[in-house]
Amino acid sequence: MKASQQFTRLPLLAPLLASGTFAIPKVSTVPLGSNDCARWPGYIDFDYTSPVYLVVDSAENSTANGLLTTVQKFTIPGTNTSSTRLVVSMNNSASTVKLPSYRCHSGQLRLPGPNYDPTAAVVGETLITVHRDYQNSFPILSEEGLRIAPYHHEIDGVEGEDVYLGTRGRTTWGFKYFDGGYFEIKLQGGTPEEYDGESVKGWDPEFYGFLKVITE
C-alpha cells in the first residue's frame, strides 16, 4: 500500500553549508517488503546482499547530496549511557571513501563485523533500526528499534527504481549539521500514538532529504 508523506517544514538553516537549496520532491512510498532481502540492491542468495551503502539523495541542502552515512558513538549528557547511530559524514562520499558498508541479511539492515559470513551460524553483525521515540527517530545500532525497510518512491504516478530507507511508510529524513564535520539524521513523520515512553524533543531539522541504498 502506498503512503504519502507529510511533515512540518522549517526554515532552512546552515546557510554557510548550502551550495544550493531545493525543495525535496513530494513522493508516495511503495513498500518492497521487509521479510527478506530479495528486493534490496545487491541481492545475492541465501537471503543476503553484497555490501550496500547509504547515500543522501534529493536533499534540500545540495551540499549533503552524495554523502554517505558512517557510524558514531554518542554519550548521553549527565549519564554513563551511550548509543551508537548512523550519521552523515562530510568526509565520506559515493565518489571517494565508501566506509562502512552494510548488508541486508534475513530481511534486515545490518552492520557486519570484521569476520562477517552470512552463511555462518553466528554472523557477527549488528542490527540497524530506527529509535521508537517519535521525536528522536535516529537510526541506531540496536535490536530495540523499529525495523528498517526498503521502499520505492512514486512521483506523479510514476514508480521509480531506486531504493530508499524508511519505516512505516516514511522515508523522509531530517538533517542537522554539527561541529566535527557531520550531519545527524532522524526519520520524520512519527506520531505520539506510536510511542508509549517519555519523549523529550531534540533538535529541529535544518533541511530534509532521503537515504538511498546503493551498491559498489
In this model, does residue 149 exceed pLDDT 90? yes
For the entire predicted model, the pTM comes to: 0.86
Of the pLDDT bands very low, low, confident and very high (cuts 50, 70, 90), residue 92 is: confident
Of the pLDDT bands very low, low, confident and very high (cuts 50, 70, 90), residue 117 is: low
> What pLDDT is attached to residue 1?
64
If one counts every other C-beta atom within 10 angstroms of the C-beta of residue 12, the result is 15
Ramachandran bin of 95, using left for φ above 0, alpha for ψ from -120 to 50, beta for the remaining angles: alpha
In this model, does residue 216 exceed pLDDT 50? yes
In this model, does residue 188 exceed pLDDT 80? yes
pLDDT averaged over the chain? 86
Range of the domain at 38: 3-214
Q: How far is CA 134 from CA 191, 196, 216, in A?
A: 6, 10, 33
Residue bearing cell 517519555: 198
Q: What would the mean pLDDT of 16-25 be, rounded to a whole number?
A: 68
> What pLDDT is attached to residue 46?
78
**How many separate domains does the chain show?**
1
Each residue's pLDDT tens digit, 45-74: 878 899 999 999 999 999 999 999 999 988
> What pLDDT is attached to residue 123?
59
Q: Which three cell numbers stand for residue 77?
A: 549528557
